[in-house]
Structure formats: structure tokens, C-alpha cells
Amino acid sequence: MGWLETLRTGLEAVRSHRLRSGLTVLGIMIGIAAVILTVGLGTGAQDQVKSAINSLGTNLLTVSPGSTTSTAGVREGSGTASTLTESDADALANKTVAPDIKAAAPVVSTSEELSDDVNTDTWTSTVVGTTVSWETVRDRSVTEGRFVDNEDVTDHTAVAVLGSDTASELFSSEDPVGQIINVDGVPFTVIGILDSVGDDSSTTGSDQDDQVIIPISTATERLFGSTSLSSILIESTSSSTLSSAYQEADAELLALHGITTASDADFSISSEASLVSTATSVDKTLTLLLAGIAGISLLVGGIGVMNIMLVSVTERVREIGLRKALGAKPSAIRRQFLIEASVLGLSGGAIGAALAIIGTKVLPGAVGYPVAVSVPATILAIAVAVAIGLVFGVYPASRAARLAPIDALRNE
Amino acid sequence: MAEVIRMEDVTKVYRTGSLSVAALRGVTFSIDEGEYVSIMGPSGSGKSTLMHILGCLDVPSGGRYWLSGQDVGNLDEVDLAEVRNGHIGFVFQQFNLLASMPAWRNVEVPLVYAGMHRKERKRRAIETLERVGLSDRVEHRPGELSGGQQQRVAIARALVGEPSIILADEPTGALDSTSAQDIMGLLAELNRAGRTLIVITHDRDVASAAERVIHVRDGLLVNEPAGAEVARWVG
């Protein structure tokens, strides 16, 4: 008996018990759909985190004041120390000292209350004092007006570039460029609006569309009253030179600060890559957990197949006996039942995959981020469904194959 | 006439735990090609066991059995399946048709296991259905046929593989008397056309239609009672 023949017989058997086959298929279907969707959700979340972090600027290193490897009690905590200066940033931007650093932007930042010049709208936002390099390092641009330039920094001009969200909060209808805003009582002229990155603050900690950029000189003189930096942002010349840029910055800052042992450093350098890998690994763990739960439901579906196949064998003892009497070898009977089980698995897998693909169109609306469906994962899931049908069909099938024809025929 | 079946001192012992029951206690006989033989006996006589061994559904515990010259007493399950497929056409009391398939698909089943090509199978199945007078019922499912018609489909299925013997187990047991006569007539007709026919029954009337009656009692063959000789020419 050929495979094609067996397949036909198997399909017929599945068709002739529609309700029972349908219920079995349902179990597999739910399992497969759950696996594809959870993996899709996980991958979607990972992609989301990656793109959010990429929007911060590529090839980015952040130098923070203070040490993260604090062992001595006297050392100040990371981010609160005042060990970084503008001259550190200037030195890092020097091409001969650090050839792999494309640009370095000194940053002072704090949260300030803003208002438009008539004090009708107020808004609290992050105020960032920096130089023209920030635009390059952060990989941002202005959609309107211009960015802070070198002259602004030299002349301590009171000008501000607004993030798109900040602009719309303060100026609902009129064009913000040319308007005056008050930052902690100091008037600034709006000279530009930053492009929108549509960022989600939950993944990166701060909203990239809600900030005010002013010249660093103006910021330290008029607002902050201190020349120490919150951070220095460094962009390497390419992603492959990120680690050499890291080493150059580390060595240069140690030298500038007169520190001989690296463990005594009064600053720390972190890369966005480490942030990416942390966020991704969290997502991966979650995905694994969800996929594990989905996998269990798939296992339950498989047990369902076995159950139904055993019922099917018991119910069709006469048919099996007859087929054997008419010349069916045990292998032919075994094959027939295996095919039947894998047809159940295949149908469940295919319908489940279709369901999951529909789910990926519907779900993003509910969870707020895209659900990725990978074609190889879907094909794999269907293959797994067939394999489940086969594995859980082996026992019922060999029971059927072992039936003695006379015992089977006698069953009346 | 060539011998189709030859049994020598065949025994069958069933063991269940420590208990063993001898269903056949040494049976010797032979059947020639083209013969029409009834095997008769009350229930529990060993007649069903004999039928199972004749039909290669079971193997003897002792003795030897040749079918068409081949020693089939010691074959394994796989070889027995091949022997059944090629040499034996079964007709059962309960017809044993597959309810989900039309008549011709039921008839072709033995050819499926013989590995015959699909088109050829269908042609042969329909041809055989015509031979048993069911040319207008080819596409009917068993549920749409009368008992007599269903048994005709079963006979067609037994015939389709051109077997050495037709083994009918109480072929009229589930039929009314008219259909029963009809089926016995068809079987006799097949025999007249040269087919070796073995009918297993407990019914004296059915048995008497055969040329020869083999009586089984308590696992042994017994002499034919008087009167059977007279009935030989009936049917």
C-alpha cells in the first residue's frame, strides 16, 4: 500500500469523524497559535527596544561623573559627582588624542519649569545645556529654524531649541520660532524645533521629544551656576571603532584627571550597546517564559491527539481486523494510523498558524507595539505540530498494528 | 484434480494462564480444486478455530497445513497477511463492509493491499460487482443496500483478488430466507464456474448444498451422518 493511498485513507478517516477530529485539531491549533504569538510578541518587544535605543544616537558612549566601581567609602556616587568639565569634552573631541572619536558633546541638564512669555502655559521639562556637537552625537536635526551654533556658545546668547512635544505644549497654535520662553525666570528666544523621534520614554528613561536645548555657556552661567558637567556624550567614527573610542576616552580622561589606576577612576563610561543587551535579555527571558507556557499547551494538545487516536483504534477494532483479514500487513495499519494522527497535527498546525497571523494584525492595537511573525518560526511550528501528531500517534498506531485479526473480527 | 488444501494432524491449543484448552485435537483432510465443501458443527465444536486456521488468520499449534502447495503452518504475521491477500477470499456473517465507502471502494480493498494500480483496481472492482449482479449499485454505500445486496458486495470483495479459495463463515446467518437462498445460489454458481468454495455453518440446510460435508465435533472430524449423501446434489 503506497503512501498516497495511506494518506487518502487517513484523510477519509479524519473527515468521517468531523466533530471528534475538529476538537482534537482545536487543541493543537490553540497550542500552535499561542507559541507563534508569544514568540512574536517577544520579538516585537525586542525590536521595539532596539529601535528606541538606536534613536538615542548610534555609536554612542556616555561618560558620567563619579565611579560605578566604588569600593572605598569616600567616593561619590555615579552621576552626582562634579568631576567632568568642558575642557574634558574639548580634549576628547581632539582628533590627534582620540582619532576614533568623531564628536564629543558636553552636557549639563536639569529639570526646570518653563512658561511662554505671558505665563499662560507652564510646563516642566528637561533643560539641556550643550554645544553644536550634540546634534551630531544624538543624530538629531531641526525641522524648523536652526540648532545652537558655536557663536551662541561663545556669546552666551539666550536662545533655545525645543523638542517637538515641548513646543506643542507651550505653543498650541502659533509658530514657536521667534517666540520668547521663560526658563526659571530667564527669558530665551526660541530659534528652532527638533525633529520628532516618536520615542517611548518607558524604554529609555527620558522622553527625547520633550526637552529644551540651550548653549552650554548660557546654561552654566545663568541657570545652573556650576561648570561641572552632567555627562559627556561621545560618538565613535563607526560602530566597529566603538570599543577603541571607549579605550581612548578612558585613557585620556584618566590622564587629564591625573589618575594612575583604572579602578580609581572618578568617571564611568557606558555604551548604549550594554543598555540594548540588558533590555534584550530581559525581553528574551520573558519570551522564553511565555513560550514555555505556550509549549505546555501544545503538549496538552498532543496528549489530546493520543487520546483521540486511542479511542479511534478501540472504536475501529472491527475495521482493523477486516483490513488485516483482507491482507493488510501490520506496517500498513500502523502507517494508516500514523498518517491520521499527523493529518490531525498538520491541520491543527496550519489553522493555528493562520490564527496567529490574524492575531498579529489585531494584537498590536491592544498591546501598543508591533508583533513580529517570522516565517521560519511559523514553518517550524507547523512542523512541530505534525511531529506531535506523529509522536503521540505512535502508541495508538502500534496498538492497532498488533491487533490479531481474529480477535478484532470476533469483537461483535 | 489438484489439492488446494491439505491438513495433517492439525491441533490448536489455546492457553490462558495455566489453563489450556484443545480446540482442535488432530484434524486431517484435504480439499481439491473446484470442490464445494461445507464444514459443519455445533458451536464450541472447534469449527471456528478450523476456519481461522484455514483462513490463515491463526496458526496451528501442531501438525501441518499446505495451501496451494505452500506450507503455511509456520509463517509469520507479515507472510500470513500476504497469503490471505493472495489466496483467500473471506465472506463473513456480518458482511464487514466499511460504512463510509461506496460499494466499489469496499470491493477494491484487497487489491489496495496487493499494491495494484488505482485505475486497474477500480476497473476490476466494478467488473466484479457486475459479476455478482450489482452493476447498478457501484456507488451505493452499504447503508443504502439491503442485507442481501451487502452480502453480494462482500462476495465481490472476496472474489476480486482471484483467490484460491472462498471461505464463507455463516454467509446467510444475518439474512432472511429469501436473501439467504439467493446468496447460496450465487455461491453455488461461482463454484460451478470453477471456484473452490468452503462454507462454515451450523445450519444443516446450508451445509447440505455442498458436494461434501465435513463434520466437526469436540475438535475432531467425525463421520458424515447418513442422509448427507442424499443431499449432495441439492443446490
**All 3 cell numbers of residue A223?**
541657570
The closest alpha carbon to A32, from A324, A291, A333, belongs to A291
> Are residues A326 and B84, on separate chains, in Cβ contact within 8 Å?
yes
In chain B, positions 142-181, which contact chain A (CB-CB < 8 Å)?
157, 161
Q: Name every chain B residue with its beta carbon within 8 A of the beta carbon of A2.
A: 115
Closest-CA residue of A relative to B88 is A326
Q: Name every chain A residue with its beta carbon within 8 A of the beta carbon of B55.
A: 325
What mean pLDDT do residues A76-97 have?
A: 73
> Are residues B113 and A332, on separate chains, in Cβ contact within 8 Å?
yes
How far off is chain B from A295, nearest CA to CA, in Å?
36
The closest alpha carbon to B100, from A210, A404, A10, belongs to A10
Rounded-to-integer distance, Cα A171 and Cα A165, Å: 10
Rounded-to-integer distance, Cα A298 and Cα A30, Å: 8
CB of B55 less than 8 A from some CB of A: yes
> Are residues A1 and B113, on separate chains, in Cβ contact within 8 Å?
yes
Q: Name every chain B residue with its beta carbon within 8 A of the beta carbon of A409.
A: 57, 92, 96
Rounded-to-integer distance, Cα A65 and Cα A56, Å: 20
Rounded-to-integer distance, Cα A405 and Cα B88, Å: 14
Domain containing residue B192: CATH number: 3.40.50.300
Rounded-to-integer distance, Cα A363 and Cα A209, Å: 26
Radius of gyration of chain B (CA): 18
What mean pLDDT do residues A316-339 have?
A: 89
Residue with grid cell 465444536, as numbered in its chain: B45
> Are residues B85 and A327, on separate chains, in Cβ contact within 8 Å?
yes
pLDDT in tens, A206-227: 677 888 999 998 888 888 877 7
> Are residues B100 and A2, on separate chains, in Cβ contact within 8 Å?
no
How far off is chain B from A321, nearest CA to CA, in Å?
10
Closest-CA residue of A relative to B84 is A327
The residues of A whose Cβ lies within 8 A of any Cβ of B are 1-2, 5, 12, 16, 318-319, 322-332, 404-406, 409, 412
Whether the per-residue pLDDT at A1 is higher than 70: the answer is: no
Closest-CA residue of A relative to B82 is A327
Dihedral sign from CA coordinates of B124, B127, B132, B137: positive
Which three-class secondary structure string do you get for A99-140? CCEEEEEEEEEEEEEEEECCCCCEEEEEEEEECCHHHHHCCC
pLDDT tens track of chain B, all 235 residues?
689 999 999 999 988 888 888 999 999 999 999 999 999 988 888 888 999 999 999 889 999 999 998 999 888 989 999 999 999 999 998 899 998 889 999 999 999 999 899 899 999 999 999 999 999 999 999 999 999 999 999 999 999 999 989 999 999 988 999 999 999 999 999 999 999 999 999 888 888 889 999 999 999 998 755 444 444 444 3
How far off is chain A from B51, nearest CA to CA, in Å?
10
CB of B110 less than 8 A from some CB of A: yes
pLDDT, residue A79, reads: 46
> Are residues A327 and B114, on separate chains, in Cβ contact within 8 Å?
yes
How far off is chain B from A402, nearest CA to CA, in Å?
10
CA–CA distances in Å: residue B182 to residues A349, B96, B97, B188, B206: 52, 19, 19, 10, 12
> Are residues A412 and B112, on separate chains, in Cβ contact within 8 Å?
no
Rounded-to-integer distance, Cα A147 and Cα A215, Å: 10
Rounded-to-integer distance, Cα A229 and Cα A108, Å: 5
Residue with grid cell 500502523, as numbered in its chain: A334
Count of residues in chain A: 412
Give me the sheet containing B62-67, strands edge to edge.
Answer: B19-32, B3-16, B62-67, B70-71
Whether the per-residue pLDDT at A411 is higher than 70: the answer is: no
Closest-CA residue of B relative to A13 is B100
Taking a C-beta distance cutoff of 8 angstroms, is the pair A405, A321 a contact? Answer: yes
Taking a C-beta distance cutoff of 8 angstroms, is the pair A98, A245 a contact? Answer: yes
Rounded-to-integer distance, Cα A188 and Cα A178, Å: 10
Q: Name every chain A residue with its beta carbon within 8 A of the beta carbon of B100.
A: 12, 16
Could you give the residue ranges of the DSSP H alpha helices within chain B?
47-54, 77-87, 103-114, 118-131, 147-159, 177-192, 204-208, 228-231
**All 3 cell numbers of residue B38?**
461445507
Taking a C-beta distance cutoff of 8 angstroms, is the pair B13, B58 a contact? Answer: no
What domain count does chain B have?
Answer: 1
pLDDT in tens, B55-80: 999 889 999 999 998 999 888 989 99
How far off is chain A from B184, nearest CA to CA, in Å?
22
Residue with grid cell 545652537, as numbered in its chain: A148
> Are residues A327 and B113, on separate chains, in Cβ contact within 8 Å?
yes
**All 3 cell numbers of residue B136?**
447498478
The b/e string for A28-66 (b: 16+ C-beta within 10 A; e otherwise) is bbbbbbbbbbbbbbbbbbbbbbeebbebbbbbbbbbbbb
Q: Name every chain A residue with its beta carbon within 8 A of the beta carbon of B112.
A: 1, 5
In chain B, positions 27-46, which contact chain A (CB-CB < 8 Å)?
none
> Are residues B52 and A406, on separate chains, in Cβ contact within 8 Å?
yes
Q: Name every chain B residue with its beta carbon within 8 A of the beta carbon of A12.
A: 100-101
How far off is chain A from B208, nearest CA to CA, in Å?
26
Whether the per-residue pLDDT at A285 is higher than 60: the answer is: yes
pLDDT, residue A201, reads: 46
Count of residues in chain B: 235
Percent of chain B at pLDDT > 70 equals: 94
How far off is chain B from A345, nearest CA to CA, in Å?
23
Taking a C-beta distance cutoff of 8 angstroms, is the pair A353, A382 a contact? Answer: yes
- How buried is B2 (Cβ within 10 angstroms: 0-12 exposed, 13-18 middle, 19+ buried)? exposed
**All 3 cell numbers of residue A94?**
581632539
The closest alpha carbon to B131, from B97, B109, B103, belongs to B103
Rounded-to-integer distance, Cα A176 and Cα B130, Å: 95
Q: pTM of the predicted model, to two decimals?
A: 0.65
Rounded-to-integer distance, Cα B161 and Cα B125, Å: 9
Site from B58, B108, B113, B116 to mutate, A interface, most A CB atoms within 10 angstroms? B113
Print the domain residue range for B217. 3-231
